[in-house]
Homo-oligomer: A and B are copies of this chain.
Amino acid sequence: MFFPRKLVVTLLGTCPWHRCHRRHAAEIARLSVREALASLEESRKDIKIQGWVRSVRSQKDVLFLHVNDGSSLESLQIVSEPNLKGSALSFGSSVEVVGTLVKSPHKKQSVELKASDIRVLGACDSYEFPFKLKERHPPDYARQYPHLRCRTNTFSSLLRVRSEATAAIHRFFQSNGYVHIHTPIITSNDCEGAGELFQVEATNWDSAAGDKSGFFDVPAYLTVSGQLHLEVMSGGFTRVFTFGPTFRAENSQSRRHLAEFYMVEAEVSFTESLEDIMQVMEDLFKSTTTALLSRCPEEMDFFNRYVSPGQKDRLEQLLKQRFMIMSYTEAIDVLQNSRDAFRYKPQWGCDLQTEHEKYLVKHCGNIPLFVTNYPYDLKPFYTRDNEDGPQHTVAAVDLLVPGIGELFGGSLREERLDILQSRLDGLGLNETYQWYLEIRKFGSVPHGGFGMGFERYLQCILGIDNIKDVIPFPRFPHSCLL
């Protein structure tokens, strides 16, 4: 809650320039719609509500309004005499309503506001406003209006859930002793070696400084992962996490990819096996999802009803189960023994495709599935060598979830200086990663970590088909609106 400030300024000595800006305490209590709806008092005078009109229904001797301020999915019903209706009062306009909060005689809501005054703050031409009263707008229509779509039920619910998920993730790590690290956005590294990078340069560098080597003296890119920088920090704090934007310049228009998306990444030192990492992944997924079910019940019901029927039941079932585990080698066996016709033939040594991942999860009863120990050649240089044979694997793990496929990717990191050095030598990267080798030189520890795609997590939890509909301002090829 915040109320207009009662400023009491201490006058300092004899200085004549300080003036006392004092305001009278507001006698009218300003409530958010959420607070008003949660009000348990039978009747409460002098309440002020502010928000946007979601419906206007004018009858002969009574006017019904619904006002929403984004604090909850539900709107507050306003009841007034029809003469309070200004001409500018329409769907989408912003209003300030003063009145008495009373118990509602209708079943649909617990309370309503009997208005004594309605003031239109900002008009809204319903013909020009792209969203219409009582219409359901398909997501690709809403996406064309990134500056207005937060006024729809679907997108405002999504963003409230996103905000709660963000808070829940921070809480999870904080309460488990992790130190939060802001890993850099601009970096001279390419963590994944994928090559699909955005390069960064100052717009006015050449001309301003007569300097051809660029702002940073070296080519600089937008980060594709905070992992290597988190590894630096796990070497001092034992447990660290980051939650920030990552970037891929992939020319993909799929429902699963964005050029700018958010990753939750954690790194843990003194690991004993891959299971230490899997345990954190499972705990994070379950703790965040449990928080959402309890803190956003209206929004979860809304998505369950209108977007992905049955989703809530499926989530609640899933939270009761221990996640499954299968090695990559076992997974290939399962796929090769399946009767399904895959577009890509499953074969040891090849990446699992989304169709394979979805099949495996289904095969396991739609319970999230850890696939472990991938072929050596499939994973980046930092993955810990299992030193096994004849099928040479590394200690990597992906978590596959229903409807999405890969949600988390993690691994133990190669902490043994000699093994890492010879791998980097082979790749000709020894010099570039001198600093990375030094972490292994000065008090190296066994460690591992993972990354979770935050937007994919939201898709998975809410059953939302297109990744562009779970982020406030999606960026993808040919599109950078606003």
Residues of A within 8 A of B (CB): 1-2, 4-5, 7-10, 12, 15, 17-19, 21, 23, 30, 32, 34, 50-53, 69-71, 92-94, 96, 121-125, 128-129, 146-148, 150-151, 156, 159-160, 162-163, 166-167, 170, 174, 176-177, 179-189, 195-205, 208-209, 215-218, 220-222, 228-229, 232-233, 235-239, 244-245, 247, 249, 251, 259-260, 262, 269-270, 272-273, 275-276, 278-280, 283, 321-322, 324-326, 330-331, 333-334, 363-365, 367, 415, 435-436, 438-446, 471-473, 475, 477-482
CA–CA, A409 and B477, complex, Å = 34
CA–CA, A96 and B445, complex, Å = 10
Q: A94-B443, A185-B245, A326-B18 are in contact. Are A2 and B238 (CB under 8 A)?
A: no
Q: A92-B442, A181-B159, A440-B122 are in contact. Are A15 and B229 (CB under 8 A)?
A: no
Q: Judging by beta carbons under 8 Å apart, are A443 and B262 in contact?
A: no
Q: Judging by beta carbons under 8 Å apart, are B442 and A7 in contact?
A: no
Q: Judging by beta carbons under 8 Å apart, are A249 and B148 in contact?
A: no
Contact of A480 among B128, B188, B333 (CB under 8 A): B188
Contacts of A185 in B (CB 8 A): 185, 222, 245, 247, 260
Contacts of A330 in B (CB 8 A): 17-19
Interchain nearest-CB distance for A199 vs B (Å): 5
Q: Judging by beta carbons under 8 Å apart, are B249 and A473 in contact?
A: no
Contact of A215 among B201, B249, B279, B363 (CB under 8 A): B249
CA–CA, A184 and B53, complex, Å = 28
Contacts of A415 in B (CB 8 A): 122
Contacts of A93 in B (CB 8 A): 443
Q: Judging by beta carbons under 8 Å apart, are B442 and A177 in contact?
A: no
| CB-based nearest B residue for A473 | B184
Interface centre among A9, A19, A122, A273 (most CB of B within 10 A): A122
Contact of A202 among B30, B186, B244, B249 (CB under 8 A): B249
| CB-based nearest B residue for A228 | B482
CA–CA, A322 and B247, complex, Å = 43
Q: Judging by beta carbons under 8 Å apart, are B238 and A32 in contact?
A: yes
Q: Judging by beta carbons under 8 Å apart, are B122 and A444 in contact?
A: yes
| CB-based nearest B residue for A440 | B122
Contacts of A121 in B (CB 8 A): 270, 443-446
Q: Judging by beta carbons under 8 Å apart, are B322 and A10 in contact?
A: yes
Contact of A238 among B9, B50, B196, B279 (CB under 8 A): B50
Interchain nearest-CB distance for A261 vs B (Å): 10
Q: Judging by beta carbons under 8 Å apart, are A176 and B1 in contact?
A: yes
Q: Judging by beta carbons under 8 Å apart, are A15 and B363 in contact?
A: yes
Q: Judging by beta carbons under 8 Å apart, are B482 and A184 in contact?
A: yes
Contact of A236 among B156, B195, B233, B249 (CB under 8 A): B156
Contacts of A162 in B (CB 8 A): 180, 182
Interchain nearest-CB distance for A121 vs B (Å): 5
Q: A8-B322, A198-B203 are in contact. Are A480 and B270 (CB under 8 A)?
A: no
Q: Judging by beta carbons under 8 Å apart, are B150 and A2 in contact?
A: no
Contact of A150 among B177, B235, B251 (CB under 8 A): B235
A-B contact pairs, 21 of them (CB 8 A): A4-B273, A4-B276, A10-B367, A18-B330, A71-B177, A94-B445, A147-B439, A148-B232, A159-B237, A160-B179, A162-B180, A163-B180, A166-B170, A167-B180, A182-B245, A188-B482, A202-B249, A204-B249, A217-B479, A218-B480, A229-B473
